[in-house]
Structures are given as structure tokens and as C-alpha cells.
């Protein structure tokens, strides 16, 4: 018997869910049992039945089209100035403003716009939308990130044998690249397979240099031009000054003739903020500071001999091993010498001896770096022997106002933080980088980083103060990113730093005055006493007796006294 039941539905209703409803049971078919089939029945024991209670699931997958993402940005710079005016040079911008203010068009424009601007100013001042209604409630300071660092990149000298990375210079355009000078400074290094090349590295492609600079002699120092980003200035080991245009490749565009160049390696070369952006000056251990114009490098435009006796004699000159120039003080510069003396020079002086303005007896050994504070130009930092010291030009022929503790290894380089006035960095000969915050602690560094086992020769920090470049004796450059606490200016930090420098300056002045008074009193006592001739033998015996007595007292204090004595 075939049993079936048909469900009919319109074509338009296909696919729609069925709608069932409850109704009373009814018998549709009645099949009576057939006894004849009982003989054919075979019972099965046991009988298993499987019932699945779970619902039937369906799995669907969809693959969407990938969205193409592009990163774009806009770099805003100060504009509106003529081409020959550098917006970063305050002297040129001030002079140009004064010229514009003298014109009649400027006066008429100000008078015409003055009433309109005054109307809107009064309208804005009617209601103070920025009024603080709860000034008495102090804002809770956010928890500062603990001092930390991380290594974000490592640049290695691609040549063999390895050379020293003697100088770093960041690209002025958002620090996207770094120029590294490679040179062997070891005495009488006569390796014939030594390479002379220096490199410019792109930070996004750290495995190979972006541009290879090919000088005629190894480069000791490199410096980017802040006005013309594609101009690079270099000082060579043989005393020549070299100029590159990175748009034209790695070969020098111009270089100074050997007979008019320095006679020793050029340890410092700086660009000057001139109208044309083509002037620079250099310093060397031959005792000379020379001024150049890259448009005519056949001979120096000006010369200064670093003779502190002011006799202008080259044989008495001190060797320059570091230079510092700040655009905020366009006529002054600092020179660190091999003899441990810092010379403050003024280019606008009438005669060469007058250009040596002040002399600071700073360190026992060579002054490896001297640099001005970016917030307080009269305050500068020097590093040499085992300490880093802070000086001020307000105290002439005086000692430093602040200094770090004496370290066991030598200090080789230093630089200020461009974001915080009391933070500076020092590198040591044991491969350690110290970060100091004198507002926080003056005896110990805020953070000490073991960068390498090789001495750290050069430091250079980016404009944001977050990334520091450290170069080693084996030509490796480490790029370190420090925590935000070292590059975020706190509230009133600049005022507190200024007060700290002023306090230490006053303290040093008081000590200096007391020292002079004591010298005067001793001179007066010496004049009042009759002249007595001291016997040198008696003086020696007395000093020897005092020395032995001190040694015996110290041994007794330590419990080391010999019972036989």
C-alpha cells in the first residue's frame, strides 16, 4: 500500500518557513494485523536506537575584499618669509620685521585692521570661555613612567677592518637619517686596507647605507646644514674641510686646498646662520680656528689663533679638540682644548687678541666636548678627565658652578636634552651611557645604561629628546629610545632650573669673594711679620714627621698596628 500526502504551495511562497498549528488527532488509515506474517518475523535482541537531540547547524564563510590603506601626513613649517630669511635665525627675522614696520603700507594696514580686530577682541573678552571655576582643586599628577630604555636599531660599519665612529649628525628633516663619520684615531695606524668612506644611514633601511661619502682623507667630523638639508660639512684627518651636496652623490663638491687648510685633524666644524647659509668655521689641534665660505673654499675668509697669552703666536696656541656654536648667540662660540682649558671667543672683536674673551681652567685632561644649554645659553657643559662640569659666563676665571662625581672610567662625550633644561647625557670609556637630571639628583645619574663593552665616543640626541645615538670605538652606532619622563617638560621645570643655576652662581661668587679676602689677609700678615728665612731641611723633617704620624694614626684606627712597634 502506498501512502503519501502532498503539500501544495504557490511558486512565490517557495523557501518560506512552514507554519504548523495544533489540532485534534484523527485516524487517517487503519491497517489490521496479518497473522500469516508472524511466522516470518525474527526477533532481534538487543535492539539499539540512536536519537540526536541537537539542532542541525550550518556553517557559512565569507571572505571580504582587503582594504588598501595608505599613510599620509603634512609637515607644517613656518612660512611667509622671503627666501633669503632663515625663520630660525632670530637676528635676521627681527631685522626684517623692523624694515617692514617702517613702510607706509604697513602703517595703513594696521590702522585699517586695528578697529576691526579691537571689536572682536572685546567680543571675545565679554565671556571667558576658559574660566577655571575650581582653581583650588589641584589636578592629580599622572603617574610618570619609570626610567627605562630600549634599543631600537643598530648600525654597523660595513667595512673591514673596523674603524671608530667619531661623530654623529641627525638629518634636520624630522631626523629621518643620520650621518656617521668613520675614522681611525689610533696613533700611527698604518693598516693599508683601511677604508676612507663615511656613510649616511636611513633609519627605515638600517642594513645598508643610503649614501656613501667618499673623501680623500678619513672624516673626523660631519655636520648637516640646518638651512639647506642636502649640504653636509666634513672635517678630515689631514686638515681639509670637505663639502657634499647629497643630491649630487657621494663625491665631494668642494674641498679646501691642503696648503691653506689645518695642519692637524679637524675635530670640530660648524655651520653659521648666515643669510646665504654657506658660511662655516672649523677648529683643529694645530691651534687655529678658520672661517670658510663653501662658494669659495680656496682660502679661509678669517683666522683666529688660540693663543691665550693674546700675543697671536701660533707656537703658543692651544689645540682645539671640540667646538660649540649656538644660533642664539651668533657672534660667540666655545672652544675646548687639549690642555683642559675652555676658551670663550667673540668673533665681532676688533683685533684677534680681543676675540679671546674669557678663559676657563676646566679639566685636567682634554676637553672632549663643550656645549651650551639650549634654554640658558650663558650656561654651558663640558666633559673631560673623569667629570662633567657646568659653567656660567657670568663668572669670569672661576670654577664650575656644578659638577658630577668623579668616575673611574674616562668621560668621552656629553650633550644636553633639547626638551628638559636640567637633563644631560654623558658617555664613558667603559661603554656606559649615563642620564643625569640635576633637578632630581646631583650625586648619581637618574639612569645608567650599559650600551657596549667598547668605549662610547660620540653622542647625538634627536630634536624630540627621545632617541639617542651612541657610537663606539668599533664603528657600531646604537639608537636608544628612552622613557617619556626624560623628554617631557614638567610644570615650572624651566623656572626651577633657572633658580638652581642662579643659586649655584651666587654660591660660587660668595666662595670666590671669601677666597680673595683670605688671600689679602695672608698677604697683609706676610708684610707685617719680619722676614724669616726658613731652613728647607727643617721644613722637610717636619713634613716627614707629620706624614709618618698620620700613617701611624690611620693604622691604629684600622687595627693594623704592629705590636712590635
Q: Tell me: the pLDDT tens digits for 397-447?
A: 667 888 888 888 889 899 999 888 889 999 998 889 999 888 888 888 888
The pLDDT value given to residue 470? 92
First to last CA, the chain: 135
Q: What percentage of the chain's residues is helix, strand, coil (to nearest 5)?
A: 20, 25, 50
How deeply is 514 buried, as exposed, middle or buried, from its count of CB atoms within 10 A (0-12, 13-18, 19+)? exposed
2 Cβ contact list (under 8 Å, min separation 6):
none
Alpha-carbon distance of 419 to 436, in angstroms, equals 13
Radius of gyration of the chain, Cα coordinates, nearest whole angstrom: 40
Asked whether 183 and 218 are in contact (CB, 8 A), the reply is: yes
**CB distance 500 to 439 below 8 Å:** yes
Long-range contacts made by residues 406-410, C-beta under 8 angstroms, separation at least 24? 410/365, 410/385, 410/386, 410/455
Query: What's the rounded mean pLDDT across residues 494-508?
Result: 89
Whether residue 338 has pLDDT greater than 70: yes
> Could you give the CA distance from residue 166 to residue 163 in angstroms, rounded to a whole number?
9
Burial class (CB in 10 A: 0-12, 13-18, 19+), 397: exposed
Q: What is the DSSP letter of 460?
A: E
CB atoms within 10 A of CB 76: 5
CA atoms within 13 A on the CB side of 60: 2
Q: Taking all residues of the chain, what is their mean pLDDT, rounded to a whole number?
A: 83
The mean pLDDT of 536-561, rounded to a whole number, is 83
pLDDT digits (tens, 9 = 90+) for 82-123: 877 877 788 888 888 888 888 888 888 888 888 888 888 888
Instruction: Name beta bridge partners: 443.
Output: none
Whole-number percent of the chain with pLDDT over 90? 5
Tens-place pLDDT, residues 510-547: 888 888 888 888 888 877 765 555 677 888 888 889 98
Instruction: Assess contact for 319 and 335: CB atoms under 8 A.
Output: no
- Report the range of poorest mean pLDDT among 86-90, 304-308, 377-381: 86-90
Mean pLDDT of the region 481-504:
87
Rounded Cα–Cα distance for residues 64 and 490 (Å): 48
Phi, psi of 251 (to 5 degrees): -85, 145
If you average pLDDT over residues 487-500, what whole number do you get? 87
* Pairing assessment for the beta strands 266-271 and 254-255 based on DSSP bridges: unpaired
Residue 273: pLDDT over 60: yes
Residue 302 banded pLDDT, cuts 50, 70, 90: confident
Residue 193 DSSP code:
T
- For residue 417, give the nearest of 447, 443, 395, 444 by alpha carbon: 447
Q: In the Cβ-directed half-sphere of 297, how many Cα atoms lie within 13 Å?
A: 22
Tens-digit pLDDT profile for residues 163-216:
888 899 998 887 888 999 998 887 767 677 788 889 998 888 888 888 889 888
CA–CA dist 201, 211 (Å, integer): 7
Percent of residues, the chain, with pLDDT higher than 70: 94
Give how far Cα 519 sits from Cα of 288, 369, 524, Å: 36, 33, 9
User: Residue 530's pLDDT is what?
Assistant: 57
Residues β-bridged to residue 432: 450
What residue segments make up the domains of the chain, in order of their start? 149-496
Which has more pLDDT, 543 or 145?
543
Q: What average pLDDT does the segment 124-139 reach?
A: 69
| Confidence category of residue 565, pLDDT binned at 50, 70, 90 | very low
Q: CA 329 to CA 347: how far, in whole Å?
A: 11
pLDDT at 564 over 50: no
DSSP code at position 92 = H
Place of cell 572685546: 122
CB 269 within 8 A of CB 257: no
CATH architecture assignment, domain 149-496: 7 Propeller (2.130)
Q: How many CB atoms lie within 10 A of CB 49?
A: 4
Task: Say if residue 135's pLDDT is above 70.
Answer: no
Burial 523-546 (b: 16+ CB within 10 A, else e): eeeeeeeeeeeeeeeeeeeeeeee
CA nearest to 398, candidates 512, 284, 527: 512
Q: Are 243 and 231 in contact (CB under 8 A)?
A: yes
Q: What is the mean pLDDT of residues 151-174?
A: 86
Give the three cell numbers for residue 300.
679661509
Here the contacts of 447-451 (C-beta below 8 Å, separation 24 or greater) are 447/147, 447/148, 447/149, 447/482, 447/486, 449/149, 449/480, 451/478, 451/480
Amino acid at each position: 500500500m502506498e501512502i503519501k500526502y502532498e503539500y501544495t504551495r504557490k511558486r512565490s511562497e517557495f523557501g518560506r518557513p512552514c507554519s504548523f498549528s495544533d489540532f485534534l488527532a484523527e485516524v487517517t488509515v487503519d491497517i489490521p494485523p496479518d497473522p500469516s506474517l508472524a511466522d516470518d518475523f525474527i526477533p532481534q535482541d538487543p535492539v539499539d536506537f540512536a536519537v540526536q537531540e541537537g539542532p542541525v547547524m550550518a556553517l557559512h564563510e565569507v571572505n571580504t575584499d582587503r582594504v588598501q590603506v595608505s599613510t599620509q601626513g603634512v609637515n607644517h613649517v613656518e612660512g611667509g618669509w622671503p627666501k633669503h630669511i632663515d625663520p630660525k635665525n632670530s637676528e635676521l627675522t627681527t631685522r626684517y620685521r623692523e624694515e617692514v614696520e617702517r613702510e607706509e603700507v604697513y602703517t595703513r594696514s594696521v590702522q585699517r585692521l586695528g578697529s576691526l580686530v579691537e571689536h572682536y577682541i572685546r567680543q571675545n573678552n565679554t565671556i571667558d570661555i576658559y574660566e577655571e571655576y575650581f582653581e583650588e582643586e589641584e589636578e592629580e599628577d599622572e603617574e610618570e613612567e619609570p626610567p627605562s630604555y630600549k634599543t631600537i636599531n643598530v648600525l654597523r660599519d660595513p667595512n673591514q677592518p673596523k674603524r671608530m665612529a667619531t661623530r654623529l649628525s641627525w638629518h634636520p628633516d624630522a631626523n629621518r637619517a643620520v650621518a656617521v663619520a668613520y675614522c681611525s684615531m689610533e696613533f700611527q695606524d698604518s693598516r693599508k686596507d683601511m677604508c676612507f668612506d663615511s656613510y649616511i644611514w636611513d633609519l627605515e633601511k638600517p642594513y645598508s647605507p643610503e649614501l656613501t661619502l667618499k673623501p680623500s682623507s678619513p672624516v673626523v667630523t660631519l655636520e648637516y646644514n640646518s638651512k639647506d638639508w642636502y649640504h653636509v660639512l666634513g672635517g678630515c684627518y689631514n686638515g681639509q674641510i670637505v663639502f657634499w651636496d647629497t643630491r649630487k652623490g657621494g663625491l665631494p663638491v668642494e674641498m679646501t686646498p691642503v696648503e691653506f687648510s689645518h695642519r692637524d685633524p679637524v675635530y670640530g666644524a660648524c655651520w653659521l646662520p648666515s643669510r646665504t647659509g654657506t658660511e662655516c668655521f672649523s677648529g683643529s689641534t694645530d691651534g687655529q680656528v678658520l672661517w670658510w665660505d663653501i662658494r669659495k673654499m680656496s682660502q679661509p675668509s678669517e683666522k683666529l689663533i688660540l693663543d691665550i697669552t693674546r700675543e697671536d703666536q701660533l707656537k703658543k696656541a692651544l689645540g682645539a679638540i671640540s667646538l660649540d656654536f649656538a644660533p642664539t648667540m651668533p657672534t660667540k662660540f666655545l672652544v675646548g682644548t687639549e690642555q683642559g682649558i675652555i676658551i670663550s671667543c667673540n668673533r665681532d672683536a676688533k683685533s684677534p687678541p680681543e676675540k679671546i674673551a674669557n678663559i676657563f681652567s676646566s679639566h685636567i685632561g682634554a676637553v672632549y666636548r663643550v656645549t651650551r644649554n639650549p634654554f640658558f645659553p650663558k650656561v654651558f657643559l663640558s666633559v673631560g678627565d673623569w667629570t662633567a662640569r657646568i659653567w656660567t659666563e657670568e663668572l669670569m676665571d672661576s670654577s664650575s658652578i656644578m659638577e658630577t662625581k668623579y668616575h673611574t672610567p674616562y668621560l668621552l662625550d656629553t650633550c644636553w636634552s633639547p626638551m628638559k633644561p636640567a637633563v644631560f647625557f654623558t658617555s664613558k670609556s667603559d661603554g656606559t651611557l649615563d642620564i643625569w637630571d640635576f633637578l632630581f639628583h646631583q650625586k648619581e645619574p637618574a639612569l645608567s645604561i650599559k650600551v657596549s663593552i667598547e668605549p662610547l665616543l660620540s653622542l647625538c640626541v634627536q630634536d624630540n629628546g627621545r632617541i639617542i645615538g651612541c657610537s663606539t670605538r668599533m664603528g657600531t652606532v646604537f639608537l636608544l629610545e628612552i622613557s617619556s619622563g626624560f623628554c617631557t617638560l614638567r610644570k615650572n621645570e624651566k623656572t626651577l632650573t633657572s633658580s638652581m643655576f642662579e643659586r649655584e652662581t651666587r654660591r660660587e661668587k660668595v666662595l670666590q669673594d671669601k677666597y680673595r679676602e683670605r688671600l689679602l689677609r695672608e698677604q697683609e700678615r706676610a708684610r707685617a711679620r719680619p722676614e724669616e728665612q726658613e731652613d728647607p731641611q727643617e721644613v722637610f723633617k717636619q713634613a716627614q714627621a707629620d706624614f709618618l704620624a698620620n700613617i701611624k694614626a690611620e693604622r691604629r684606627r684600622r687595627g693594623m698596628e704592629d705590636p712590635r712597634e
